[in-house]
Structure 1
Amino acid sequence: MTRPIVRRCLLSLALAAALAGPAQAQNFDAFQVADIRVEGLQRIAPGTVFTYLPVERGDQIDRRKTAEAIRALFRTGFFSDVRLERQGDILVVVVTERPAINTITLTGNKDIQTEDLLNGLRGIGLSEGETFNPLNLDRVTQELLRQYNNRGKYNVSIVPTVSNLDRNRVDISIVIAEGKASRIRDINIVGNETFGEDVLRRNWESGTSNWLSWYRRDDQYSREKLSGDLEKLTNFYLDRGYVDFNVESTQVAISPDKRDIFVTANVAEGPVYTVSSVKVSGETILPQEELERLIILKEGDTFSRGLVELTSDAIIATLGNVGYAFAQVNPVPEIDRDNRTIGLNFFVDPGPRVQVRRIEFSGNTTTADEVLRREMRQFEGSWFSQAAIDRSKIRLQRLGFFDTVDVETPPVPGQPDMVDVKITVKERNSGQFTFGLGYQQSYGLITTLQLVQNNFVGTGNRFALSLQHNSYSEQFALSFTDPYFTDDGISLGFSIAHSDFDYSDRDANLANFNNAVSSAEFFSLIPLTETDAISVSLGIDRNQITTDDFNTPPMLIDYLVDSLGDRARYPQYHVDNDGNPQTDPSNDDDDPSTTDPLTLGPYRKWNINAWRLQLGWQRDSRNDFLMPTRGLYHRIGAEIVLPGSDLEYYRINYNFEHYWLIRSWLGLRTAAEIGYGDSYGDTRKQQCRVYDELGELTTEFENCGLPFFRNYYVGGPNSVRGFEANSIGPIYTFGDSYQQALGGSFKTAGSFELYFPTLFDNRGTRLSAFFDWGNVYRGPDVWEAKTLRLSAGISLTWQSPMGPIAISYAAPLQYERHDQIERLQFTFGGSF
């Protein structure tokens, strides 16, 4: 008798003994059951036993029925022992309950989170409060080993321990020693004749150790990753016409110490196929020539499965936009291996035309349904459109009220031509609240109270109130915006503000003068298309500027005098010549026959009133409010101080941003900003003194330009990082070291930023590497590329529960000796 036959016989005997044993243990003859009693229960109710017991009062029980009853109770998993006994005509069921699980403790797991492990244990019945079954513990051990092996950790050790407690309870402790992941030491592709191994493995997730492996972990072996990479290899060849390509075998070898992995893939390339014909058939719905225009592959082209899939997707999307939500396009190939050609027939099965029955929202506990519904471009009762649903999702994401927006389109049961649109959102803190004390080098001691609610009481309206005091300014602002003042999406809002800036603080990096500004304005945004809108605002400003003859740069005072006329100096006082404080101030010296002239202080004050009109156009196709990864943003804006104001001037600005997703883990952001301002009208006719880039006055005069208090500034966390705030551009120097930034009427700035969107699990967290550039100039005629300031560094942005936080470290690459460097910078805001 062979060994396998012996093994099967022994297994059959063991099973027979296990099944027959309990029945043979019951030493009673058949009888009719008058009553049933259960003994040995502690936690389980008797009714549970009666539910599973296939015997009732009045039944005749024999050895066969006894065995059946015992097996039924064992199958529940509640009991470790079951016996049936007879006391007269009473059937006694004696059970020993399995213990209950008191606690489950996991230690040593780092690669797999504890919560994920507990959820997996719960799925197989191993959780606190459940009945303990040793078989489940063995299953858990094997499953954990499998999961860690799939992650490339073959040295993992999993030791479960069961501790018995009183009242038939147990504690389970699972100690995991993960060990280190096995590293891929070599990957070898055999049989590739046309393409080099570097080309074939360019997009693989698996790789040998390199300088980025600490971040990408591509050298850690994983069975799932390798399977995906081999699929990419197949796609690579199929996209280049190798229809007969095949991965013939794969060998994965592991070193004796289980630390190194060696992978070998044997491939057969085969010949290249070209396309012999392409056509569209089936029920096309739309004119056939319209769908044929969507076919990317043409006759004579090299076959590409990727282009075939893109063609199918394009046809499906086109039909989906006219209501055929379940359309299918099946590319049917006709392969001629003798001539190495392949014909393609795109067979269209449109399915039923689908209407949207209902649009439902969930997860918006604060935000009213109306706020979400007005962003929808798919409507109830209309034909299904995938493009409209995709656009609706983007509009909801751009509100900034939600962390995630998920859209499902389940069919309506029993109605194949109807679907529902179910949108699930996860709300985020759409308000910001800041109150506290802080210190920053540029601003000194900061006291802030700020209340911003972008989704005021769930209506989608924006309300903002802010109060701030620091070493050189006091600010108050109140604004309110209704983004849907009309049903067409025209927004309307207002703001009032007052600020008092004292730029005498040298750390502010601004020219030394006082500026108290009060303003009020109404503004509106008028949408033109899904991505385009124009903005209009009208406001009134009152600037009260105070200069100091001893500290304010003279070119600023000259501008006010030349354009508005001189103002009286103050304070006015008499000199105490005789040293007697009791002397009448009108004649305070040793000679009572004379009157001292008044002595004037160094301060002068100008009140400047302005009517301000702002017009703008913007195009915004970014896919997200918080962390966009794709899309464009353009904005052109003009600010015009209207004729009749004390000073007449204008400013024109252009802002640009473009986001690309280069890889799933790598994106690129490019940004640029240009600003220019000048005077016109009566202000332009006035002549002002000219000064150079270092603040030195010249003997020349020119038409008065943009007022200095509306100049542009560059530098700091929000422009060119690595330089102190507002410090880049023309300066005025007092003595040898005290500098005051003057700003300029022409600004150029921009940034290139590589960001890593998948580095952190938190969607609102992003690490980036940036290159910033920029400067401001007295005018566009003095712009030179060599004078641009350049910096490079890294930045971390985090949408924390307390609000957005940005930290950057930058190294200036091109700078001047007098520039003020600040490598580490941060911004912080609070939320509620």
Structure 2
Amino acid sequence: MKRIAALILLASLSTGAFALEPFVVSDIRIEGLNRISAGTVFNYLPINKGDRLTNEEAQQAIRALYGTKFFSDVELERDGNILVIKVVERPSIAKLTIRGNNDIKTDDLKKGLKDIGLTEGETFDRLALDRVQQELIRQYYNRGKYNVSVSPHVTQLDRNRVAIDIEIREGKVAKLKEVNIVGNTAFTTKDIEKGFESGTTNWLSWYSKNDQYSQDKLSGDLKKLQSYYMDRGYADFNLDSSQVTISPDKRAMYIAADVIQGDIYHISDTHLLGQLILPEDTLRKLVFVHNGDLFNRRAIEATSDSIKALLANIGYAFAKVNSVPKLDKVNHTADITWYIQPGPRVYVRRVIFQGNTRTEDDVLRREMRQLEGSWYSQAAIDRSKIRMQQLGYFKTVTIDKQTVPGSDDEVDLTVKVEEQSAGSLTFGVGYSQYSGIILSSSVSQRNFLGTGDQFSVSAERSDYLTQISAGYSNPYLTDNGIGIGYNASFSRADYTDLGSQYASYSNSTKSFSTTLGFPITDFDRLSGSLGIGSTKINTYVGYTPQVLVDYINALGHNTIHTWTGSLSWVHDTRNSYWAPTHGGQLTASVNVALPGSTVQYWTFNGEANHYWPIGKGFVLYLDGKLGYGSTYGNQKYENTTADTALGPGIGYKAGQTVAFPFWMNFYAGGVTDVRGFQDNTLGPRACAGTSANGGPIAAAPNGFCSGSTYSYAQPIGGAFKVLGTAELYLPLPFLKDINTARVAWFVDVGQAYNSISNFRTSTLDASTGVSLHWQAPIGPLIISLGFPFRTQPGDSQYEERIQFTFGSQF
């Protein structure tokens, strides 16, 4: 038998290294295989039976087998005309352990190791392990840990296996002791460093980690340094050098940056050259610098971006706009020219959806504002993305464009979505300070069978409330977006034991309604509904506030039948369903108890809110709400009652016009309202029972009732309500998904009134505090810590610092 070749460095040897006479391979035999199948080897082997084997082909065969990284040694031998391939398999990784890592999660590390083939079950490659060691050290260096050590240990096991143990000693983070900018005379170092991520230790360093050195953060800060000057006229600013010094114990870092400020430049002229496509006057409106202005690189780049965006909206998807400043160093002026290269105008050939395993393509396609076969429009694509995010079905939505091979005027769009649960099957127990124990069960689906229809059935039981409801809606009954919905409900509530938050009476209500919705614009929707309902109210003499008892007695009915009609308008520009960061909502609705109802009344509800991102993860949210109700027509009371809390001589008398029904009153105060106060406790209150002369018992200024069944006045709400909220959502560095939880500092103001004529800004209650909204495994959870700082007489007794509720929607 004659050896043909061997050894791992065979590929670098010359053909003359072989003393081989070419021969025709009659068969191939492989020796040394244990885990790897012969078929796998043959798949990589460039030699087949019947081939004529030469020195060059033998080298290629060895290179190919080494390239698989399955083998640590490969030899070719000849046995007659049989080619014998002898291999030594690399060991497999039986176990991979990482310990000592706190700064980087084990799962993240193992994911990175898997990407380079170092994972359990794979073939062990010593070179890959060395690369991993260097990469881990680099990652820790980027986190400012320069005294880190990474020690991999390989243990040989039986059956040609190995166990790998990577021991990490992270050490301490190197802290920045000094950041020195040399050469800056125009600005103070404090002003320049305001936007830096790096800095010396201060009272917020525990949160911002600004004093932990990172090469990535330093690179970003140096770019911000350059931008700071160039945005303020220093067009020839130059960063001469930067040095980073580390102490011998690798615990302290010192940064120095040498700058050459240069001179202040003003804009002398601006030009638009190239293929303008649009009239120059139109493009000039997007130029944000003008003659005489200070040189401002940010404004110059914003001009380029705005022109590109405008061209992208009319089909020029690959437009280029390059700004070229020409500096006059004698006169310190800058002449700016924007060169416009629109490229070809492109159509969208196809829109492809990926990742929607449950949701039908049609549900996504009907939200697309970029149509197939039409000009490419970046604005339409951006709007399509927002509409899909607003559905609430997807965690993420991305839209990518790809050129069509062989065509320079067509692109395909790929819409990639990551689905999240849009429904739930719940059997649970919750708790609220006001409702006590809540037993609930519900089936809800906002994306029923992937069609985009919404369906829900729920039942709830608490200390005072029993409620059953069912609803179904189809937002696209027609292709142009007309939707229809149905809702039926039954509830029974007994507030007699909740006198401090509700007036003491009980009711039971049955209702059914149907709604039609109509899209007006891409941001506006109008809807109208018709419904029927029946409410039975039970009042209790001596326990229910006398004003409510008298109202029912004068009305002559305790079963209230209502035919309802409503009209509502919604203007929605929010960028997300669950956790918006910009945009807002305007809503207005009118609900009318139609003629033929026991009491004819109407209510108006309006709300305006908006989100503003203000940088570094902070989001400002402002919200205002108001509600108003009144009766209409010429309905009269049937029975006469004594004077009531409305005032002497203003009792409910037969033939008098019916007042606004108390069961439709607006309330203020509570965890989802004016936080820091108990539920429904702000606004009008009344005493139960009558005085010695048969008249109503008046509540004292502090809210107490003398001679009443209850020592305190009970909330009865009013026909007018106003609320205002300001919230600052705070970034949570340890939380990547803001859909899971949000923390905010809030200020709430609000109050309810008997009528709009009673409204005075001086009578508004106000509170401030922090609030956590968390989609917990047990259900949505709200925790608020509120501190009232403005109260009306009698309101302070209803203050409540900590408020929470879970097991119900928020």
TM-score bracket, shorter-length normalisation? 0.7 to 0.9
Name the aligned partner's letter for residue 750 of structure 1: G
Deviation at 1:173, TM superposition (A): 0.7
Between the aligned partners of 2:444 and 2:116, the Cα distance in structure 1 is: 48
Show structure 2 runs of 5+ residues with no match.
Answer: 1-6, 687-704
Q: Among residues 411, 415, 418, which one is paired with 1:419 in the alignment?
A: 411
CA drift of 1:218 comes to: 1.9
Are 1:431 and 2:429 matched, yes or no? no
2:430–2:808 Cα contact (<8 Å) kept: no
Offset of residue 192 of structure 1: 0.9
**Separation in 1, partners of 2:169, 2:503:** 63
Contact persistence 1:53–1:73 (CA under 8 A): no
Per-residue deviation, 1:68: 8.9
| Partner residue, 2:690 | none
Q: Does 1:556 align with 2:541?
A: no
1:785 and 2:761 equivalent? yes
- Among residues 772, 777, 794, which one is paired with 2:770 in the alignment? 794
Per the alignment, residue 382 of structure 1 pairs with 374
Q: CA RMSD in A?
A: 3.2
- Cα contact 2:602–2:630 (8 A) shared by 1: yes
Q: 1:176 and 1:356, CA in 2 relative to 1: closer, same or farther beyond 3 A?
A: same
Partners of 2:432 and 2:806 within 8 A in 1: no
Give 2:327's aligned amino acid: I
**Against the structure 1 CA distance between its residues 531 and 86, is the aligned structure 2 distance closer, same or farther, given a 3 Å change threshold?**
closer
* Paired amino acid for 1:620: D
Residues 652 and 71 (structure 1), Cα distance of their counterparts in 2 relative to 1, 3 Å cut: closer
**1:39-50 aligned within 5 A:** 39-45=31-37
Counterpart amino acid of 1:633?
A: Q
Question: Which residue of 1 is the match for residue 724 of structure 2?
Answer: 750
Instruction: Indicate whether 1:762 and 2:740 are aligned.
Output: no
Which residues of 2 match residues 642-657 of structure 1 at below 5 A? 642-657=594-609
Letter in 2 for 1:666: F
1:672 counterpart residue number: 624
Tell me, yes or no, if structure 1 residue 243 matches structure 2 residue 235: yes
1:792 and 1:813 in contact (8 A); partners too:
yes
Does the Cα contact within 8 Å between 1:658 and 1:669 map onto a contact in 2?
yes
Q: What does residue range 383-462 of structure 1 map to in structure 2 within 5 Å? A: 383-462=375-454
Q: Which residue, out of 473, 482, 485, partners 1:490?
A: 482
Q: Deviations over 1:14-71 (max 9, x none)?
A: xxx99699999x9996666687765444334557667569999997988x99999877
* Residues 69 and 621 of structure 1: CA distance in aligned 2, closer, same or farther (over 3 Å): closer
Partner of 2:664: 710
- The verdict on how the C-alpha distance between 1:504 and 1:29 changes in structure 2, with shifts beyond 3 A counting, is closer
Distance 2:642 2:724 in 1: 31
2:698 alignment counterpart: none
Mean Cα displacement is larger for which, 708-717 or 286-295? 286-295
What is the aligned counterpart of 1:327 among 319, 336, 347?
A: 319
**Residues paired across the two proteins, number:** 770
AA partner of residue 780 (structure 1): I
Report 1:547-696 matches (<5 A). 547-562=539-554, 564-565=555-556, 606-683=558-635
CA apart distance, 1:502: 1.4
Matched to 1:665, the amino acid is: G
Among 663, 668, 676, the residue aligned to 1:722: 676
Alpha-carbon shift at residue 125 of structure 1 (Å)? 3.1
Q: Which blocks of at least 5 consecutive residues in structure 1 are unaligned?
A: 1-16, 566-604
Q: Deviations over 1:766-817 (max 9, x none)?
A: 2222222222122233334343332222222233566533332323333433
Cα offset, 1:697, TM superposition: 5.8
Distance 1:98 1:34, change over 3 A: same
1:756 to partner: Cα distance: 2.8
Secondary structure of the corresponding residue to residue 229 of structure 2: helix
Structure 1's 803 and 373: CA in aligned 2 closer, same or farther, altered over 3 A?
A: farther
- Quick check: which has more Rg, 1 or 2? 1
3-state SS of paired residue (1:770): strand
Are 2:288 and 2:299, in contact at CA under 8 Å, matched by a contact in 1?
yes
AA matched with 1:746: F
Residue 73 (structure 1) shift: 6.1
- Matched residue type, 1:264: A
The residue type equivalent to 2:804 in the other structure is: Q
1:541 match? 533
Quote how far apart the aligned CAs of 1:186 are: 1.8
Q: Quick check: 1:33–1:91 contact (8 Å CA) kept in 2? A: no
Larger CA deviation: 380-389 vs 211-220: 211-220
One-letter amino acid of the structure 2 residue matched with residue 283 of structure 1 = Q
Pick aligned residue for 1:204 from 196, 202, 219: 196
In the alignment, structure 1 residue 216 sits paired with structure 2 residue 168: no
Aligned position for 1:776: 752
Moved more, 300-309 or 466-475: 466-475
1:332–1:736 CA distance, 2 compared to 1 (3 A):
same
TM-score normalized by the length of structure 2:
0.88
1:636 is displaced (CA, Å) by 1.9
1:110 to 74, 80, 102: 102
- Partner deviation per Cα, 1:240-283 (whole Å, 9 max, x = no partner): 22111111111111222222211111111100111111121211
Distance 1:778 1:90, change over 3 A: closer
For residues 713 and 71 of structure 1, do their structure 2 counterparts lie closer, same or farther at Cα, with a shift above 3 Å needed?
A: closer
Distance apart, 1:533 and its partner CA: 2.4
Change (3 A) 1:66 1:508: same
Code of the residue aligned with 1:745 in structure 2: it is: A
Give distance in 2, aligned partners of 1:293 and 1:22: 65
2:490/2:509 contact within 8 Å kept: yes
Give the Å deviation of 1:665.
1.1
- Pair 34,301 (structure 1): closer, same or farther in 2 beyond 3 Å: closer
Q: What is the identity, as a one-letter code, of the residue corresponding to 1:804?
A: P
Q: CA deviation at 1:560?
A: 2.7
* Secondary structure of 1:131's aligned partner: coil
Q: Secondary structure of the equivalent of 2:480?
A: coil
**Which letter does structure 1 place at the counterpart of 2:564?**
R
After superposition, what is the alpha-carbon deviation per residue over 1:434-467, rounded to whole angstroms, capped at 9, x for unaligned? 3233333311232222222211222212222222
Q: Which moved more, 1:370-379 or 1:40-49?
A: 40-49
When residues 366 and 96 of structure 1 are mapped into structure 2, their CA distance, relative to the original with a 3 A threshold, is closer
Residue 807 of structure 1: aligned partner: 783
Residue 818 (structure 1) aligns with: 797
* Contact 2:717 2:752 (C-alpha < 8 Å) held by counterparts: yes
438-447 or 354-363, which moves further after superposition? 438-447
- Contact 1:509/1:739 (8 A) holds in 2: no
Relative to structure 2, which stretch is displaced further, 206-215 or 670-679? 206-215
Single out whichever of 73-82 and 195-204 deviates more from structure 2.
Answer: 73-82
Q: CA–CA distance in 2 between the matches of 1:722 and 1:139? A: 57
For residues 189 and 689 of structure 1, the distance between their equivalents in structure 2, rounded to whole angstroms, comes to 83
Q: What SS does the corresponding residue of 2:485 show, helix, strand or coil?
A: strand
Normalising by structure 1, what TM-score?
0.86
Deviation sequence 1:709-728 (CA, Å, 0-9, x none)? 11111222211222222222
Q: Counterpart in 2 of 1:7? A: none
Distance (whole Å) between structure 2 residues aligned to residue 67 and residue 129 of structure 1: 29
**Contact 1:32–1:89 under 8 Å retained in 2:** no
Q: 2:170 aligns with which of 172, 178, 189?
A: 178
Q: Structure 1 counterpart of 2:153, which letter?
A: T
Q: Which amino acid aligns with 2:320?
A: Q
Q: 2:113 aligned to 117, 121, 140, which one?
A: 121
| 1:828 maps to 2:807 | yes
The answer on whether the counterparts of 1:767 and 1:796 sit within 8 Å (CA) in structure 2 is yes
Alignment of 1:490-509 (within 5 A): 490-506=482-498, 509=501
Q: Deviations over 1:60-109 (max 9, x none)?
A: 988x9999987776665444455677888887665443322112111122
